[in-house]
A and B are shown apart, each in its own frame.
Chain A
Amino acid sequence: MRDTIRFLKGGDVVELTDVGSTETVLEYLRLRRLETGTKEGCGEGDCGACTVALGRLIDGKMVYQPVNSCIQLLGMIDGAELVTVEDLVQDKRLHPVQQAMLDLHGSQCGFCTPGFIMTLFTLYHATEVEKSRKTVTEWLAGNLCRCTGYRPIVDAALLACFETADDAFSWRAKETREQIRALADSRDIFIGDSDGFFASPASLDGLAALYDQHPDATLVAGATDVGLWITKQMRDLPKMVWLGRIDGLDRVEETPSGVLLGAMATYQATEASMTRLSPDLGELWKRIGSKQVRASGTVGGNIANGSPIGDTPPALIALGATLELQSATDNRALSLEEFFIGYGKQDRSPGEFVTGLFVPRLNSNQAFRCYKISKRFDQDISSVMAAFRFTVDEGVITDARIAYGGMAATPKRAAGAETALKGAILDDPATWGAGMQALAGDFTPMTDMRASAEYRNETARALLAKALMEISGTPDSDLRVLAKREADHDRAA
């Protein structure tokens, strides 16, 4: 047992014995360290002004990822290197990304700038990224600027971020790796007492025991949602259990039959595997939250939290994913759609937690499409999310799995349309009509600030038509305004 958290900052190991259950990294930086370079813009992880970089060892290499410090719990940086805008100037010389932003006039009011600098710092240290405007805007999706219109910032990124890293962090990388290795241990962390604590078990058994003892505790994965319970709803959450140190819970395993995701696997960590499952999944993954959100947020969390507008569940349901749950006494698996019982209600007993997810591969006679519709392309919550898996034999749909988000109180399958589409002929759009009509009976969506019920119904129908058109051979380029696609689909088998 360890009653501290430890992390690196500015080359030094910091060890804290007092860590509040809901204390954020931003509060720690601004109120305890009085380091005010990191700003609060929105307090909900949407504007990126509070972006800091977290360095961790991944496959033996230091990898820096941007996170929103306003909703990152302080305890969650245990074992990492915390880098803030204060750490970049070396010997009075600006870091290359700082110099490029200055030279290209990338700041106006300057309030968002430290956040941009830190995201660009992580891009500067990223390897295996293609030098392109698309790469840059993908990395910057979580940083809002209201003054510049982004052009000079994107140019600064293109100028500075694609050279081999040559800064104080690359120079001392070996030493940093050793320091980070020395911080890793397999002890459970528990700071506080039984009335209030921040805990981080190192094993599943440890978690099960702790959760059994404190079924009222809050389990937190990436805190991209729980963070808002703290900053916006001001909930009292005295017992916080962070799942990030559980050995193996962040696994991503590709098997011949599918992909196994541990509950703590982040969007970022699963992106490559998902892209290999389907280019549409890759596209979807890039439009979930922002780089910051994807670095912290987990697929398991997106599911466990049960939101009706989560982006991943419809796609995963259409693919036929199954969920694994565990408690102190039991293990079980169930199909993902069965997990979502009603609005904000899931099939999860007290003391039970999600451990993983299995996503099966597509068969050679299956085609998958998914679409996210939102007011803004990047970092927005979908008004309608649609996913389709068609099994096609000799040009005839023999099976359809169709799931939508934003259309009901939970992510939900379109049972009527699925049935009605069986037997539809790809080359004969007249045979699609029954499915299109049946869809109208599958959902009764609501009107809210994202879209009206009418638009949701209309779009749901349009997306089904679009999916059918695409798998029937209409090129994506004729059907999608976004030219962001990683790869073109083949015509369905």
Chain B
Amino acid sequence: MTEPLEQETIEIPLKHVRKSLPHDSAAKHVTGTATYIDDMPEAIGTLHVVPGWAKQAVRGKIQSLDLSDVQFSPGVVAVLTADNVPGTNDCSSGFGDDPVLAKGEILFYGQVVFAVVAKTRDQARKAAQKARIDVAEITPILTQEDAVDAETIVLPDYQFRRGSPETGMPAAEEIQSGSMRIGGQEHFYLEGQIAMAVPEEDGGMLVYSSTQHPTEVQHTIAKVLGVPDARVTAEVRRMGGGFGGKESQANQWASLAALGAHATGKACKCRLDRDDDMIMTGKRHDFRVDWKIGHDAEGKIRAVDLEFLSRCGYSVDLSLGVNDRTLFHADSSYFYPDALIRSRRLRTDTVSNTAFRGFGGPQGMLAAERMIDAIAIKLGKDPLTVRKLNFYNGDHNLTPFGMPVEEYEVMHDLIDTLETSSDYWARREAVKEFNASNAVLKKGLALTPIKFGISFTLKHLNQAGALVHLYTDGSVHLNHGGTEMGQGLYQKIAQVVAEEFGVTLDKVRITATNTSKVPNTGPTAASSGTDLNAMAAKLAAKKIKDRLVNFLSEQHQCKAEAIHFGDNKVLVGEQSFSLAEIAKQAHMVRIQMSHAGYYATPGITWDRDNATGRPFFYFAFGGACSEVTIDTMTGEMTVDRVDILHDVGHSLNPAIDIGQIEGGFVQGMGWLTTEELVWDDKGRLRTHAPSTYKIPTASDIPEDFNVNLYEGNGNPEDTIYRSKAVGEPPVMLANSVFCAINDAVASLNPGELPDLDAPATPETIMKAVREIRQRKASS
């Protein structure tokens, strides 16, 4: 349990950390002066790269590729194909199966076959239309069922097993089973994929890339160009949104820009058109989940048998980690005595699915909530009662992968608090009354928990570096391996570094993430950006500060405890100096005022072969209560009220954390309601623009939207100022919306589980309504 934080409570009051300060770029955002890659001044002669593809083809060998009309289109400088790749034609994260440019075969709808380099982007786009590509099409494998039949996989099956579900299941008083579909999700970052490559001397390449993983962009380009990593530098100041969609998926466009620059000797920019972006880049994995649960008459789970059929697309990409994380979260917050949780990583002839905020976790948790709802409906109990009955507790706190849920008391307290603050039980009665007196409109209510494991499950990614300089005027240069995609990482780390040096925030210069400053970084992902990079930056700042303290304590013959940093000053006993003075003095006596900080998450272990260990440093918790109204004639739905309580430990910046929670919830709500990816029967994506793919708008959020941070004792683990990660977990708060819709449909035929898939669009809701009414009529 949480240890008392004595050290911190006796420290001088915090000046910057734990304050609701604005995002470092807020003033630039609102004035349009924040620079994204497309806004950077272009070098004279900058050219534009546009990917070309076979507009109809889904799968098949390229019979002929006629690019002559492309070549002679106005403004075209070069046309690149796989033959123009000097190094290795691969931009994958490690499995070697993602060609930058197609190698004689179309593997999915939207695969890049060639790239046009032209003087203007408009010329390049028009030229790219003029290719003639003949493909000998074969019947593609599109669905989970197709892939199961054809036995195509990208990775071997994997599973967690505990106890004996084979004997536990039959021994249960009640056994229920079912199957549900969970749709994927398009990231819809507002800034589409973009990179600009500037050739440098000696075959070097400087690449500005909108990426969550500059190191991977650097390494990929080096591989594609066939040059050492040291020749390539990747830089990103900010992204206009990432959400996982720029973790591995930025590699290809950065590679195309670099290939263009390599071929022409000119700076090259590659900015995807929105439709191309939505067609060519991977999305959240969509699933079919087959579930079976055994429980007793009270609602206590006895045994679980879950199978996750995941559509990975044509290549591995990040499917290993994504699908593992589904299994890690298939328990949601519930203890499964006997469990078999299986994962199949199916290969389909579709765009390769990738990271998306939650990284497989949301699908796993939604399946668990589905089973809880099934139990509650079957037994005529309130779903919240059944949820709490099955929560991890002091007697049962071991997950199916062997890691204990040590903070189960936080989980209980958080849900109890939310249950009260949301007035759950009174509203449950009100919903019942509403439904009794309304024939067409039906309300639903649900309160669901989250428990999300924090750390990369690939252990080596849990490390970070930072580079901090103190200059002789007392100003600070801050650099680290984390990338800024809007989540406020730069701001939080600047607060930490300002706190460490005792300087005002205006003294801290935040600089763009750059592989030549901090090398070999992991992606900014897994919610861990702050946990890792802020720690590295704090350590770097502390090292410099310690050197100054040593110097001062010698010079002034005082103890280190007598030296304090604050307000841009240094107090040495009774004497006060400006930090600038001290920095100058230190420089004169040759003290190094730069340090590369490094941090690796302690205490995590994971034995994947035996599916056991402690893969997560800690868990983040939360809960949400949502109320919805559905129209049982049309399937239309409104979210009427949402109450959220979320655990971020001791927040580094409450305003930024609230922003992550609200934004994550709304993004999750979109995933489970209006955001529907539709492929036609030939395997072509039909929803590839905001006109057809509908993310939430301002009117979709409930007017009554109450979001609070859980006030606990902070993170029991020694994280940065005892905070907890916040990036991904809030997405799963939206499970409450889906469960509330399910609750509304279930009111039409008490005792029966609605056949509701995600996303619950009006049509999907209507389908469930029709089906449950038919069951009622035929019973």
Residues of A within 8 A of B (CB): 30, 36-44, 46-47, 49, 84-86, 88-89, 94, 98-99, 101-103, 105-114, 117, 133-134, 136-138, 140-141, 143-154, 232, 234, 371, 373-381, 383, 448-452, 455, 458-459, 462-463, 465-466, 478-483
Contact = CB atoms under 8 A, between A and B. Distances in A.
Contacts of A150: 666, 696-698, 701
B663 A41 contact: no
Interface string B680-702: 00000011011110111111110
B660 to A, nearest CB: 8
Contacts, number: 257
Contacts of A152: 659, 662
B750 to A, nearest CB: 21
B248 interface: no
A110 B25 CA distance: 8
Query: What 6 A-B pairs come out closest when comparing CB atoms?
Result: A37-B32, A109-B486, A111-B240, A110-B29, A149-B666, A85-B32
B190 interface: yes
A94 B635 CA distance: 44
B698 A373 contact: no
Given A136-B698, A146-B188, A458 B766 contact: yes
B200 interface: no
A376 to B, nearest CB: 4
Contacts of A133: 703
B30 A98 contact: yes
B656 interface: yes
B761 interface: yes
A336 B239 CA distance: 48
Contacts of B274: 41-44
B189 interface: yes
B39 A234 contact: no
Nearest to B638: A481
Given A105-B20, A465-B633, 11 more contacts: A41-B690, A46-B691, A109-B191, A109-B485, A111-B486, A145-B190, A149-B701, A151-B707, A462-B633, A463-B634, A478-B441
Nearest to A103: B22
26 contacts: A30-B38, A37-B31, A38-B32, A41-B191, A44-B274, A47-B690, A105-B656, A107-B23, A107-B30, A108-B486, A108-B487, A109-B241, A110-B28, A111-B189, A111-B486, A114-B30, A133-B703, A147-B486, A149-B665, A150-B701, A373-B634, A376-B674, A451-B763, A479-B441, A481-B638, A483-B638
A140 B695 CA distance: 14
Contacts of A465: 633
Contact of B190 (A47, A103, A140, A478): A47
Contacts of A117: 30, 32
Nearest to B680: A449
B663 A147 contact: yes
B631 interface: yes
A109 B686 CA distance: 28
Contacts of A234: 125-126, 129
Interface in B12-66: 20, 22-23, 25-36, 38-39
A88 B31 contact: yes
A141 B32 contact: no
Contact of A478 (B242, B438, B656, B676): B438
A32 to B, nearest CB: 12
A449 B486 contact: no
B275 interface: yes
A109 B655 contact: no
Contacts of B126: 234
A42 B29 CA distance: 19
Given A373-B762, A376-B674, A376-B694, A108 B633 contact: no
Interface of B is mostly: loop
B245 to A, nearest CB: 10
B441 A146 contact: no
B23 A105 contact: yes
B406 interface: no
Contacts of A232: 273, 275, 689
Interface residues of B, number: 88
B36 to A, nearest CB: 6
Interface string B691-721: 1101111111101010100000000000000
A149 B667 contact: yes
B552 to A, nearest CB: 38
A113 B30 contact: yes
B488 interface: yes
Contacts of B678: 449
Given A105-B655, A455-B763, A466 B633 contact: yes
Nearest to A87: B32
A94 B691 CA distance: 33
A148 B696 CA distance: 11
Interface string B429-466: 00000000011110000000000000000000000000
A110 B486 contact: yes
Contacts of B637: 481
B690 A147 contact: no
B629 interface: yes
A102 B29 CA distance: 9
Given A36-B32, A86-B32, A109-B238, A376 B696 contact: yes
B359 interface: no
Contact of A101 (B30, B33, B770): B30
A47 B29 CA distance: 17
Contacts of B240: 39, 109-112
Given A380-B694, A478-B438, A43 B633 contact: no
B35 to A, nearest CB: 8
A25 B333 CA distance: 52
A94 to B, nearest CB: 7
B636 interface: yes
B30 A146 contact: no
Given A143-B698, A147-B241, A105 B32 contact: no
B686 A98 contact: no
Given A133-B703, A137-B697, A151 B31 contact: no
Given A153-B698, A376-B697, A462 B634 contact: yes
B334 interface: no
Interface string B160-195: 000000000000000000000000000111111000
Contact of B241 (A102, A111, A450): A111
Nearest to A480: B631
B738 interface: no
B630 interface: yes
A110 B28 CA distance: 8
Contacts of A371: 634
A486 to B, nearest CB: 15
B314 interface: no
Nearest to A479: B440
B109 interface: no
B243 interface: yes
Contacts of B441: 478-479, 481
B23 A85 contact: no
A405 to B, nearest CB: 15
Nearest to A114: B32
A140 B31 contact: no
A154 B698 contact: yes
Nearest to B277: A42
Contacts of B667: 146, 149
A448 B701 contact: no
Contacts of A99: 30
Given A39-B191, A108-B23, A478-B438, A138 B690 contact: no
A463 B634 CA distance: 8
A378 B191 CA distance: 22
Contacts of A462: 633-634
A144 B190 contact: yes
A478 B690 contact: no
A449 B659 contact: no
Contacts of A108: 23, 486-488, 659, 663
Contacts of A110: 23, 25-26, 28-29, 34, 238, 240, 486
